[in-house]
Amino acid sequence: MLAAISAFILMVSSITGPRVVSGVLSTPRNVRLTSHNMNLVLMWDSPERPARGLVYTTEFKSVSGYRVGCVNISNLECDLSRLNISISAYGTYKSRVRAQSGTESSAWMESNQITLDKDTIISFANVSLFSNGAAIEVSIKDPVFTISALRNVYHSATYNITYWKDGQREKARSNSNIQQNRVVLNDLDPSTKYCVQVQIITERNRNPSNPSAAVCESTTTEEEAPWVAAVVTFGIMAMAVALVVVAVVYRKNISHFLCPKDTLPQHFKEYLLAPPNSSIYLAMHNSHPPEEIYHQVSIIADGRTLEEGHPLEAAGRSCRKQPDTT
């Protein structure tokens, strides 16, 4: 009888999956609170044998005790910094999570405790290089923080700039404790390719930032005078301002020049537009062409020829008018 009862209990346990004999769900595993660029994310692993339809609820703790975080979510992380809650860049936080299936819940599993400004992981800076003769200007852009900005949280943050000739990383040189985000590297060889890498250093953070990706740029032979670009820019801006002023002051004259109007005198326009009223013009316009009257004339030669030296009138006497037949 006892063996039958034990077999029944084992069968029920295998059917119910992660539920123990008491009916309580198994807890999430590997619960950890993380921070990257001043966010606050709770992450965990599912129970060893999760039940179907398993969801999770999280809470986080600051000075005032535990508060509700994500509720009834199916994924295995909760970004607390994106919730409608107030998170301080200098606050200390702890969190916990439990699994739920229907009306049953597992026990709470607590995470580690972190202080944001001391434990957050700072990503690498964005680096741009600009060549100017035998020098290279390094432009550094800080990573974007979820809360505040890097310079607001770490007032004394500095940059460690490492640079080397392409292919000679083992001979790299470094400039440390740089606070400006624009730095000029002057001690370079002309017509040579250099690579640069930047790392952010803070005093309070336990985790140094990740080094940036190596960015390479080549120097040139001649150094461009910086005032040349400034003079050219100023000249272009001055010309643009002058053109705008001229266009505004003489806008009417420019408009008349580009789109000229009719300039005929007024009396010309009145004369050309007035209707014709001359009596001769009206008579000619209303009259019919007259009937033409003509007589038929015939010229007959009498056999004589016009001799050389005889006047033309002599030949004319031989012509006679034919009687009018009309």
CA distance 13 to 22: 10
- What does the DSSP assignment read for 95-161? EEEEEEETTEE---EEEEEEEHHHHPBP-PPEEEEEEETTEEEEEEEPPPPSSS-HHHH-TT-EEEE
Give the bridge partners for 135, in sequence order: 132
Only one residue has tokens 């002051």, namely: 249
pLDDT digits (tens, 9 = 90+) for 13-30: 444 443 333 357 889 999
Q: Which residue has the higher pLDDT, 291 or 242?
A: 242
Mean pLDDT value of segment 201-213: 87
pLDDT digits (tens, 9 = 90+) for 78-134: 999 988 888 899 999 999 999 999 888 999 999 999 999 999 999 999 999 999 888
**Residue 297 clears pLDDT 80, i.e. is over it:** no
Per the CB < 8 A criterion, the answer to whether 183 and 138 are in contact is yes
Helix ranges (H only) for the chain are 2-15, 116-119, 150-153, 226-249, 251-258, 266-273, 279-286, 312-316
**Residue 181 clears pLDDT 50, i.e. is over it:** yes
313 is written with which tokens?
Answer: 């009138």
3-state secondary structure of 24: coil
Local confidence band at 59 (pLDDT 50, 70, 90 cut-offs): very high
CA distance 120 to 208: 10
CA distance 150 to 116: 12
* 125, burial (CB in 10 Å: exposed 0-12, middle 13-18, buried 19+): buried
**Residue 307 clears pLDDT 60, i.e. is over it:** no
**Residue 68 clears pLDDT 80, i.e. is over it:** yes
Only one residue has tokens 């010229």, namely: 299
CA distance 79 to 35: 10
307 is written with which tokens?
Answer: 């001799």
pTM exceeds 0.85, yes or no: no
Local confidence band at 288 (pLDDT 50, 70, 90 cut-offs): low
Per the CB < 8 A criterion, the answer to whether 296 and 322 are in contact is yes
Query: Residue 247 has what pLDDT?
Result: 81
pLDDT digits (tens, 9 = 90+) for 228-285: 667 778 889 889 988 888 888 877 777 766 676 656 666 666 666 666 666 655 666 6
Query: Residue 60 has what pLDDT?
Result: 92
**Residue 8 clears pLDDT 50, i.e. is over it:** no
* Closest-CA residue to 35 (of 93, 142, 121): 121
pLDDT digits (tens, 9 = 90+) for 118-167: 999 999 999 999 998 889 999 999 999 998 899 999 998 999 999 999 99
